[in-house]
Structures are given as structure tokens and as C-alpha cells.
Structure 1
Amino acid sequence: MPRPAEQSDLIRRFTAAERWIHRGTAALVGTALVTAAFLYLPVLAELVGRRRLLVTVHEWAGIAMPIPLLAGLVSRAFRADLSRLNRFGPHDRGWVRATLRRRPRTAGKFNAGQKLYANVLAGALLVMIGTGLLMWFPRLAPLLWRTGATFVHDWLALLIAALVLGHIRMAVRDAQARRGLRTGQVPRDWARDHHPLWEEENPAPAAAQKP
């Protein structure tokens, strides 16, 4: 039985496993950022008062951040997307130049901006986990190391907050991108406009191409 026209015009962008990995990671990063804000901003700290509880939630949210990603490695689709995110090609350099010049851009499944965001955020989170462990277990390192870890942890938290807010801002402006993360599917027209190289890798079914 042929699929309805509206279904044939959709492309599978993310599997259920990938969407849950994104949601789990987002929840943990969001929890860490919110608890950090309540710990470091006196105005917010006064609203809660239970600092020890906030510290505990913050610590465990940080430690648990790699879990969704590590669990997701059993998914072949997720591993394939990690490979895409870690591979930069000529079209990515072209995407950056076109963006700076406000010209039409060409991208694969992920554009250069998304790749840079994913790689910078992943590296920053690893550093945050490492410095956080030094602060959580002070006997692991001398005082000088712990002081440096605190400095790096605090300033890197601001960078991560800026990156995440920018990521949310871009998502708010693109309803179809949000749809892809919510349902796993995106309209073919959107894919052709924003990720044409990837859309070419996913040709429409023969039934959908017939007039």
C-alpha cells in the first residue's frame, strides 16, 4: 500500500535512540547549569538555601553526563552520526565562507556550525568533569592544582552556558529542526534547503516520485 503523500515527503533524520541520547544529555547539562547558577549567584542562592543539596545534585549531574553518550554507542545510527560530526570536508569550509558572506550554503547532515558546536561542547564537558572531580575529591591533587581547576571550571561554565543558550536560540528559530528532534523526521523541502548533500543521500521513494 503506498504511503500518504505527506509521509512520503518526510525523511528520517534521527532514530529514537538518538533522540533519547539528546534528551538525556540536555537534561543533565541543563541540571548542571541551573544548579551552578544557584550556587554562584547570591540572589538565586537565597531562594533555595539548601546549598548542600544543590552541590550534590550538581556533582552527580556532572558525573552522569557521559552516560547517555556511552549507552548510545550501541546504536549504529548514533555511531554514524558521531563520525559525521567529527569529519570536516571541503563543503564545511565552504559553508563557513558562505555564512560569513551571507550567501547560500551547502551542508551535509550536519553543517560546519553544528560540528564545531558539538566538538567544542564535548571537549569542554570533558574538562569540566575532570576539574569537577579535583574539586569534589580534594585529596586527589595538591592545592595549586585544585585552585587552577576551580578557575578553569568556573570560566568554562560561562562558555558552556553561552554555547547552550546560542544552541537553544538557533533551535527556537527553526521549527523543522525541533521537529526532527521531537519526531525523528523532517520535511524533504527543509532538508533540501538546509542540508542538500544529506537530502541527496536519501532519495524519495519511487512511489513518491511518480506524478
Structure 2
Amino acid sequence: MTSTAGSPAPTAAPTQPEPGGRIRRFTRAERLVHRTTGLLMLLCLATAVCLYIGPVAQLVGRRRLMITVHEWSGVLLPLPLLLGLLSRELRADLRRLNRFASYDRQWLRAARRRLTRPQDRPAGKFNAGQKLWAGWIAGAVLVMTATGLLMWFTRLLPFVSRTSAIFVHDCLAWAVAVVLAGHVRQALRDPEARRGMRTGHVGRRWAQRHHSRWLTDDPDGTRTVE
């Protein structure tokens, strides 16, 4: 760890390539949080389908079991991230996701103009689209959990009607399903990004092409603020 001039916080050593030209992108803890959160999210969506879509509900049956799995998978949904906060690397990545730099605005402008060359879209470890996705899904999970609890414990907030909670919960559930489908679609189009989440490492050439700021002395790629 070193400190840059004028910066009160220590700076981590620049990202180093792994043997074979690969770079570590995610730690085991980060990958575990991602997988567990994804599994709980899929359980929520799958059981919601079994509860609210008539033909599927009739085919599956066991409504009480579906309700129980849906409720508990929703309650547990924030837990992986909360436990993951014990990881210094995950906390550092959350700070990166929460920092919107000038080059992120350039990335968004390039995306709106539908530029196809990744090098025309400067990005740090996470691009602007990933940062927006992370912020949106985090807020959605909080609202879904809150409205789910209001539906489960109707006396938790007596001044909020159960009907209102159900309306918000259902509308947001559809929005989450659509956005999550887009997230999966983007992942399927990028095998190297999936490999990074599966193994923790990505190719240096891929990183240079899609996340060039991550490999420079830019704070988004090298600084760990404690």
C-alpha cells in the first residue's frame, strides 16, 4: 500500500497480471455473494410465477410451500451482501460502484450513440451501465423486501394498507424480471465477463479493451479507500 500526493487515503498496488496473461477481477467472497444473491433472486421470481400465473399455479400446486419459499427467499435476499461486507475487496468494489466519474458520463454518451467499439467507451473496473444496474437493483431489493414484510406482517405499519404494498410489490416484481432478463442477456453476450465471475480471472486483453481505466493509475482501478 502506498499513498498518492494530496491523497489522505492509502493506494493499493496497481492491478497485476496473473500468470498466463490473466488478471484477478473478483475474489472468492465476491463470487459467492453474487451466486447466492442470484440464486435467491431466481427463487423469488420462480415462486412468484408459481403463485400468480394461473396455469403454472395449477400445474405446480403446493401453494403453501411456494408461499413459504417465496417469503423466506425474499427475507434472506439482502443477507449475502451484508455478510459479504466482511470482505475488504467487496467493500472496495462497492465504493467503485458508488463513484460516478467523468468517463462514466462519456461511456453513457457513447452507449446512446450506439458506438460498437468498446475502446470508445472508457470504463474503470465497472462501466457506467454496471454502476446504474447495481444501484437500481439494490434499491429494488430494499423496496421489495419492505413491501413483502408489510404484506406478511400487516400490522407492521398500520397506516400503510396491504393493498398498496401488494400493488408496489407486484409492479416492481415485473420491472425486476425485465431488467434481470436484460442483465442475463448482456452476460450471455460476453463469455469473458462470465468467466471472470466464474473463476475470478479475466484476460488482460479483454480488460484493456473493455475496462482500460482499470489498468491505469486512475483511482477507480487502483485505490482502496478505507
TM-score, structure 1 normalization: 0.90
Please state whether the residue corresponding to 1:186 is helix, strand or coil.
strand
Deviation at 1:201, TM superposition (A): 4.8
User: Cα gap change, 1:183/1:108 in structure 2, threshold over 3 Å: closer, same or farther?
Assistant: same
Tell me the matched-pair count.
Answer: 198
What is the Cα deviation at residue 200 of structure 1?
A: 2.3
In structure 2, the residue matched to 1:198 is: 214
Q: Which runs of 5+ in 1 are unaligned?
A: 203-211
2-structure distance, mates of 1:99, 1:119: 18
Over the matched positions of the two proteins, sequence identity in percent amounts to: 58
- Would the alpha carbon gap of residues 55 and 101 (structure 1) be closer, same or farther in structure 2, given more than 3 Å must change? same
| Cα 1:6/1:74, change in 2 over 3 Å | closer
Shift of 1:173: 0.5
Q: After superposition, what is the alpha-carbon deviation per residue over 1:160-204, rounded to whole angstroms, capped at 9, x for unaligned?
A: 1111111100000000000000000000000011000002259xx
Q: Which amino acid aligns with 1:185?
A: H
Instruction: Confirm or deny that 1:101 pairs with 2:109.
Output: no
Relative to structure 1, the CA distance from residue 178 to residue 190 in structure 2 (aligned partners, 3 Å threshold; closer, same or farther) is same
Structure 2 matches for 1:176-191, cutoff 5 A? 176-191=192-207
SS across alignment from 1:140: coil
- Which residue of 2 is the match for residue 42 of structure 1? 54
What residue is the counterpart of 1:63 in the other structure? 75
Cα deviation, 1:118-148, whole Å, max 9, x if unaligned, reads: 1000001100000000101112233752111
TM-score, normalised on structure 2? 0.84
Partner of 2:148: 132
1:66 to 1:145, Cα distance in 2 relative to 1, 3 A: same
Q: For 2:26, what is the secondary structure of its paired residue?
A: coil
Distance 2:58 2:106 in 1: 49
RMSD, aligned CA: 1.6
Bigger helix share: 1
Distance in 2 between residues matched to 1:47 and 1:109, nearest whole Å: 44
1:123 aligns with 2:139: yes
